[in-house]
Amino acid sequence: MAKHNFRTFILWTLALLMLPSTMWAENGSDLWLRYKGSNTAQVILSKGLKSSPTLRIAMNELNSNWTGNETITLQRTAHGGDKPESFTLTRTAQGITLASPSDAGMLYASYTLLRLQQTGQLSRLTPNNPISESPQNDVRILNHWDNPNGTVERGYAGASLWKWDAIPVKAKSGKQAKWNDTALQARIEQYARANASVGINATVLNNVNAKPLMLSADMIGKAASIADILRPYGMRVYLAVNFGSPHGLGGLDTADPLNPEVIKWWKNKVDSIYQLIPDFGGFLVKANSEGEPGPMDYGRTHVDGANMLADALAPHKGIVMWRAFVYAPGSKDRANQAYEEFMPLDGKFRDNVTIQIKNGPIDFQPREAVSPLLFSMKHTRMMPEFQITQEYTGHSIHTCYLAPMWKEFFHTLQIPAASDMANDKNDMRLIAGVANIGDDINWCGNDLAQANWYAFGRLAWNEQLTSEEIAREFLMQTFTADPQFVDPMTALLMHSRETVVSYMMPLGLHHIFAGGHHYGPEPWYAPRGSREDWLPRYYHRADSLGIGFDRTSKGSRNTQQYPEPLRSLYDNINTCPENLILWFHHASWDYLMQDGLTLWQNLCYKYETGAREAEQFVEVWQQMKPYVDSERYESMLWRFQRQARDAWWWHDACILYFQQFSQRPIPADITAPRFQLDQLMKFHIPIDNYRAPKPEQLP
For ligand GCW, the binding residues (CB under 6 A) are 145, 153-154, 207-209, 286, 290, 325, 363-364, 391
List the one residue out of 269, 368, 358 whose CA is nearest residue 309: 269
To the nearest whole angstrom, how small is the minimum distance from the Cβ of residue 323 to ligand GCW?
7
Name the residue nearer to ligand GCW (CB basis): 292 or 473.
292
CB 553 within 8 A of CB 565: no
To the nearest whole angstrom, how small is the minimum distance from the Cβ of residue 290 to ligand GCW?
6
**CA torsion through residues 187, 189, 195, 200, sign:** positive
Angstrom CA distances, 272 to 58, 205, 259, 606, stand at 32, 18, 20, 55
CA distance 281 to 237: 6
Residues with Cβ within 8 Å of 141's Cβ and at least 6 positions away in sequence, in order, are 200, 201, 202, 203, 204, 238, 281, 430, 431, 432, 433
Q: If you ran DSSP here, which 8-state letter would residue 608 be given?
A: H
CB 380 within 8 A of CB 355: yes
Name the residue nearer to ligand GCW (CB basis): 179 or 325.
325
CB 570 within 8 A of CB 563: no
To the nearest whole angstrom, how small is the minimum distance from the Cβ of residue 141 to ligand GCW?
15
Give kind and range of the element (H or E) at residue 534.
none
On the CB side of 333, CA atoms within 13 Å amount to 24
To the nearest whole angstrom, how small is the minimum distance from the Cβ of residue 366 to ligand GCW?
13
Name the residue nearer to ligand GCW (CB basis): 196 or 369.
369
Name the residue nearer to ligand GCW (CB basis): 209 or 423.
209
Name the residue nearer to ligand GCW (CB basis): 205 or 262.
205
List the one residue out of 270, 264, 283, 356 whose CA is nearest residue 255: 264
Query: Catalytic: which of 218, 290, 482, 532?
Result: 290
Query: Catalytic: which of 133, 256, 368, 391?
Result: 391
CB atoms within 10 A of CB 236: 18
Q: Give catalytic status of residue 391 as yes or no.
A: yes
CB atoms within 10 A of CB 426: 10
CB 597 within 8 A of CB 589: no
Verify cis geometry, omega within 30 degrees of 0, for the bond prior to 130: no
To the nearest whole angstrom, how small is the minimum distance from the Cβ of residue 143 to ligand GCW?
9
Alpha helix segments (H runs only) across 135-181: none
To the nearest whole angstrom, how small is the minimum distance from the Cβ of residue 392 to ligand GCW?
8
CB atoms within 10 A of CB 24: 9
CB 12 within 8 A of CB 424: no
CB atoms within 10 A of CB 342: 22
Q: What is the dihedral of CA 630, 634, 635, 640, to 10 degrees?
A: 140
To the nearest whole angstrom, how small is the minimum distance from the Cβ of residue 560 to ligand GCW?
25
List the one residue out of 581, 577, 589, 564 whose CA is nearest residue 655: 589
To the nearest whole angstrom, how small is the minimum distance from the Cβ of residue 684 to ligand GCW?
17
CB 438 within 8 A of CB 151: no
Name the residue nearer to ligand GCW (CB basis): 328 or 491.
328
CB 455 within 8 A of CB 401: yes
Q: What's the first-to-final CA gap in the chain, in angstroms?
A: 47
Name the residue nearer to ligand GCW (CB basis): 323 or 472.
323
To the nearest whole angstrom, how small is the minimum distance from the Cβ of residue 390 to ligand GCW?
11
Give kind and range of the element (H or E) at residue 472.
helix 467-478
CB 373 within 8 A of CB 357: yes
To the nearest whole angstrom, how small is the minimum distance from the Cβ of residue 453 to ligand GCW?
18
Query: Catalytic: which of 138, 279, 363, 629?
Result: 363
Name the residue nearer to ligand GCW (CB basis): 297 or 578.
297
Q: Give catalytic status of residue 261 as yes or no.
A: no
Residues with Cβ within 8 Å of 242's Cβ and at least 6 positions away in sequence, in order, are 210, 211, 212, 214, 215, 248, 249, 292, 293
CA distance 316 to 274: 7
To the nearest whole angstrom, how small is the minimum distance from the Cβ of residue 593 to ligand GCW?
31
Name the residue nearer to ligand GCW (CB basis): 136 or 689.
689
**CA torsion through residues 372, 376, 380, 384, sign:** positive
Q: Give catalytic status of residue 631 as yes or no.
A: no
To the nearest whole angstrom, how small is the minimum distance from the Cβ of residue 25 to ligand GCW?
34
Looking at residue 452, its amino acid is N
CB 318 within 8 A of CB 270: yes
Name the residue nearer to ligand GCW (CB basis): 61 or 292.
292
Name the residue nearer to ligand GCW (CB basis): 153 or 629.
153
Residues with Cβ within 8 Å of 327's Cβ and at least 6 positions away in sequence, in order, are 289, 334, 337, 338, 533
| Residues known to be catalytic | 290, 363, 391
